[in-house]
């Protein structure tokens, strides 16, 4: 399951709900839903707005719960084309 770390990062940066919603230009009700339920489904646009407002890379707002390995079994992927083959 994917979990958003908005609450932890906003708290570390000293931002309130109202301050973050204004800075990110998202509705305070949307932010409250995200803070109340960190597994809430959000759009990439909302994620980008939150990351920009918090001045962090969007990848820092996302974590796997429970944590998963950060490497691919059997080694690294060498190039993006090797990840998924399109079926023709």
CB 51 within 8 A of CB 60: yes
Cβ-based neighbours of 8, under 8 Å, separated by 6 or more? none
Which backbone phi and psi does 77 adopt, to 5 degrees?
A: -80, 130
Domain ranges of the chain: 2-64
pTM of the model: 0.75
Q: Tokens for 55?
A: 């001045």
Q: Return left, alpha or beta for 25; rule: phi > 0 is left, psi -120 to 50 is alpha, else beta.
A: left
Q: Give residue 76's pLDDT.
A: 58
Give me the CATH topology for the region 2-64.
434 Repressor (Amino-terminal Domain) (1.10.260)
Residues 36-87 have pLDDT tens digits of 999 989 999 999 999 999 999 999 999 887 776 666 666 655 555 555 555 5
Q: Tokens for 81?
A: 């084309």
Confidence of residue 27 (pLDDT cuts 50, 70, 90): very high
């Amino acid at each position: 399951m994917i979990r958003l770390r908005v609450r932890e990062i906003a708290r570390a940066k000293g931002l309130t709900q109202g301050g973050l919603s204004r800075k990110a230009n998202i509705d305070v009700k949307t932010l409250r839903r995200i803070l109340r339920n960190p597994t809430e489904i959000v759009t990439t646009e909302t994620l980008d707005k939150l990351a920009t407002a918090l001045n962090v890379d969007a990848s820092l707002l996302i974590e796997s719960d429970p944590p998963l390995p950060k490497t691919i079994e059997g080694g690294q992927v060498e190039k993006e084309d090797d990840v998924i083959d399109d079926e023709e």
